[in-house]
Amino acid sequence: MATAMVSARKAIEDDILEHEKAIIDLKGRLNAMTTIARLPPELLSEIFLYVAKAAYEDPRAFYSRHYHSSGFYAWVSVTHVCRNWRAIALNTPRLWGYVVVSRKVVVDEILARSKKAPLLISANVISTEDERSKVLKSIGQDASRLQELRLSGPVRVLQDVLRQFTEPSRTLERLVLSESIPPQYLTSDTSVPSMFQAQHPSLRYLELSRLVFSWNNSLLSSSGITHLKLVGRLDSQSMLGIFDHLLSAIEQLPCLEVLDLEDAVPRLPDDTKTLPTPQRTISLSRLQRLSLSGNSLDCGNLLNHLSFPSGARLKFVGRGGVGATELLRVVSQHLARSEPLRSARLSRMYTGRIEANGWREVLDPKRSKHPCIELQVDTLACSSVASYLVNTSKMFTGVLNLDVESLDHDWRWKDVFSGMPDLRVLAVTGDPQEQFIQAISATRKNRKNRPPTLVLPRLRVLKLSGTRMCSPDYDDPPEFLDKLEDWLIMRCNYDLPIHELHLDNCLNLTEEDVERLDEVVPYVKWDRIVNFESEEEDEEVDDYDEYPYDDYDYDYGFDGDDFFWRSVGFLLSFATSTGNAVPS
């Protein structure tokens, strides 16, 4: 009887399995009738590659410490849609070449599916005992397939991992090494493993961040490099080598398109005040972007030895008051060889630096990105630096559109306006201070007994944003609003009227005030925001002085230790009731 029941049950289960297979087959045939199923396998394969690459390049995957997270390979879900998609994915070895190092069992399966495809490896290693460290050591035995290697971690861990990569890779195209936890002090053991002391014929992208290196390292002169980014350390400047080593290394990079150096230029002697005369000039005929950050004098020294196309995008961040004008002088010499700047933006950063951005097109600087020139210099003796920047250097002589942030900073407006004689659109954010109206109302004497003319004769549009137009009670005439109105009338008298006046989020401005300006300017654009300051300060009342402290005796009934243990007991009871783990 029992045997018959087992046989009957087995027969039913077989029927169910057969029907399930039939249903799966029918669903597959139904899926094959959808539009997306008509895509060629080659196209689906490329789509899958795009998804995997996006997940691999996500910075959160690179810097995450939680390597047990399954978020790294969330893109694998595309292989679970249907049997056809899974078959295509498994037959695309390149898809499994994007490896974000996590648990060994996961990486082993990914590597097996990649077969002989190129490998792109990314990992943030915490310690030598980290499981990812052991996984990387096993990958190092298959370094011949490496196309990209991105590693981040403490320098000692990176050295330990990279020692497994004993042979130079002929397929390595991209190398990124970043020290995430700098040591407290330098030691003599700072050598780069042998694999990275030789040239790599296929290397195109090299980035070393916060690592100790020397410019005579052969890795830095791999002739095929197109993108070189080096972020040095202030405590290892003496280990960079001599300045001539830097020039020799760059000279061996004829394909260089992007050069980004931060604290990576050998220092000039501390008593140097002016730049030395360059002994030779390195030509970078393919350079598209140059970024130098560090001591102003050192950045100017390197720039003084370089020659590159006039259309290259430039960024310079100079530290220290000494050498700022020297850096600006060299920058202006390079800009003089290219098309003039047509739009500019001046601002003072929260770090205390002056920032100037320039574009070669006529555009709105406030809404535009990717300037062709970016400058940041320290504001030690800031007024003189600003004066040199916009006037003496003549970098902005051809500017037509100017945007200025005047928050708590005196720009020496006379120098600004004399350095931009062709200005047509002026936008000011914040309070431009009294010198603004004085400078913009100045006249210039002409030769041969001709009548004087106003500065900025081509100015037609003025934009004010966040400007304090007058005091709240209008009790201190003449207010900025009065001076502005007088200037607008003055422009009309000189037959140089302002055509447009924009007022955005200005303080202490009423509709009646705008009507006054509207009588002088053909087009006044006001956002109709009425925002008044309050001059009445709330009186601070010290209620505690009136409180009868002496009538009360504060006795809590337990000492400090008793309070501590009662707090611990409360935390334990709360954790138990809520089911949360108790921190150790």
State the chain's mean pLDDT as an integer.
81
5 lies in some domain: no
What's the pLDDT band for 34 if we cut at 50, 70, 90? confident
Q: What is the pLDDT of residue 552?
A: 34
Q: What is the pLDDT of residue 434?
A: 78
Give the amino acid at 584: S
Q: What is the pLDDT of residue 182?
A: 58
| Whole-number Cα distances in Å, 196 to 123, 138, 193, 211, 219 | 18, 18, 6, 13, 6
392 lies in some domain: no
Q: How far apart, in whole angstroms, are the C-alpha atoms of residue 128 and residue 164? A: 13
Instruction: Summarize pLDDT for 472-485 with one digit per residue, the tens.
Output: 877 777 889 999 99
60 lies in some domain: yes
Residue where a domain terminates, one of 113, 147, 181: 147
83 lies in some domain: yes
Q: What is the pLDDT of residue 124?
A: 84
| Whole-number Cα distances in Å, 192 to 107, 162, 198, 563 | 26, 8, 10, 55
CA torsion 375-380-382-385 (nearest 10°) is -60
Q: What is the pLDDT of residue 550?
A: 40
Instruction: Summarize pLDDT for 177-208 with one digit per residue, the tens.
Output: 988 765 554 444 444 555 566 667 889 999 99
Number of domains in the chain: 2
Judged by DSSP in three states, 356 sits in strand
Residue where a domain terminates, one of 108, 123, 147: 147
Instruction: Summarize pLDDT for 113-170 with one digit per residue, the tens.
Output: 988 889 898 888 877 777 777 788 777 667 778 899 998 888 888 888 887 776 667 8
Q: What is the pLDDT of residue 138?
A: 75
Domain containing 573 equals 556-584
User: Regarding predicted confidence, which is higher, 30 or 548?
Assistant: 30
181 lies in some domain: no
Q: Is residue 77 predicted with pLDDT exceeding 80?
A: yes
Give the amino acid at 139: I
Instruction: Answer for the pair 107, 71: CB distance below 8 angstroms, yes or no.
Output: no
Instruction: Answer for the pair 428, 467: CB distance below 8 angstroms, yes or no.
Output: yes
Highest averaged pLDDT of the listed ranges 7-11, 259-263, 334-338: 259-263
| Whole-number Cα distances in Å, 190 to 22, 162, 414, 445, 467 | 65, 13, 53, 65, 54
Q: Is residue 67 predicted with pLDDT exceeding 70?
A: no
Q: Is residue 75 predicted with pLDDT exceeding 90?
A: no
Q: How far apart, in whole angstroms, are the C-alpha atoms of residue 2 and residue 6? A: 6
472 lies in some domain: no
567 lies in some domain: yes
Instruction: Summarize pLDDT for 398-412 with one digit per residue, the tens.
Output: 999 999 997 766 688
Residue where a domain terminates, one of 105, 120, 147: 147
Instruction: Answer for the pair 511, 503: CB distance below 8 angstroms, yes or no.
Output: no
